[in-house]
Amino acid sequence: MTRNLFVTPLYEAMLDEDDLLEELAYSIRVLAEDDTAGRDWSAAKGYKGYTSYASLNDLPQRDPAFADLKRILTRHARAFAKELAWDVKPKLDSLWVNLMKPGAHHSAHIHPHSILSGTLYVEVPGKAGAIRFEDPRHSQMMAAPMRDDDAPEHLRPYVSVDPKPGMLLLWESFLRHEVMPHRGRGERLSISFNFA
Ligand code: FE
């Protein structure tokens, strides 16, 4: 018998909230026009598109659509915390929007100073980049052999998820991930967040 120890859960849900997604898409595009500091920051970092990551920290207070979203995200984060057997109630700590244009990508990173992180996908054109998660034990694997290409998902060193509008993903914040290049047309809209 073989037991699976130290698993890395990835929470996935589909939000059945088409009206809210439309409002959020509209708000993201307005922010991408109006938030000059965020536009400047995105340009300075070579980000192909716009993110409010470094410029705005009060979206749920300034826009009712984000306030609704905050309630929904908190509900899911608490359900996930239960699955993780955590004795805490995660609180939303930060939330930012991402508008990626064709060619945009986001290299591998973790989200410091938080316990859960995640993304809600709002608009996803065809061939927009997948999100790819990486085995958090890579640095300890020394001489570990390569895995077969057809290894089951829970044994693969990388797992990609193709986003869809309304898809919500949540993971523990230590889990390194990257957004693969957007090879389609149109804007890929998403909202990322941290819980502390
Ligand atoms: Fe991220």
CA angle 150, 169, 71 (to 5 degrees): 165
Q: Give 2 Cα–ligand 1 centroid separation in angstroms.
A: 33
How do residues 38-87 score in pLDDT, each as one tens digit?
999 999 999 999 999 999 999 999 999 999 999 999 999 999 999 999 99
How far, in Å, from the CA of 177 to the mean position of ligand 1?
Answer: 6
Structure-block tokens of residue 93? 């700590």
The 3-state DSSP class for residue 156 equals coil
Q: What is the mean pLDDT of the chain?
A: 96
How far is the centre of ligand 1, averaged over its atoms, from the C-alpha of 3 (Å)? 30
- Residue 179 DSSP one-character state: E
Question: Mean pLDDT over residues 1-25, rounded?
Answer: 97
Work out the angle between the directed axes of helices 36-44 and 18-34 (0-180°, nearest 10): 80
Distance from the CA of 14 to the center of ligand 1, in angstroms?
A: 19
Dihedral Cα 108, 112, 114, 115, nearest 10 deg: 60
Scan for tokens 């809210």, then name that residue.
20
123-164: pLDDT as tens digits: 999 999 999 999 999 888 889 999 999 999 999 999 999 999
pLDDT of residue 184: 95
- Report how far ligand 1's centroid is from the alpha carbon of 63 (Å): 23
* 36 Cα–ligand 1 center, Å: 22
CA of 108 to the centre of ligand 1 (A): 8
CATH number of the domain located at residue range(s) 15-143+153-195 in this protein: 2.60.120.620
C-alpha separations of 99 from 19, 131, 191 in Å: 19, 15, 9
Predicted confidence (pLDDT) at residue 2 exceeds the cutoff of 90: yes
**Cα–ligand 1 centroid distance for 24 (angstroms):** 19
CA of 154 to the centre of ligand 1 (A): 21
Cα of 170 from ligand 1 centre, angstroms: 11
Calpha distance 147→186 (Å, rounded): 35
Tell me, what's the pLDDT at 141?
84
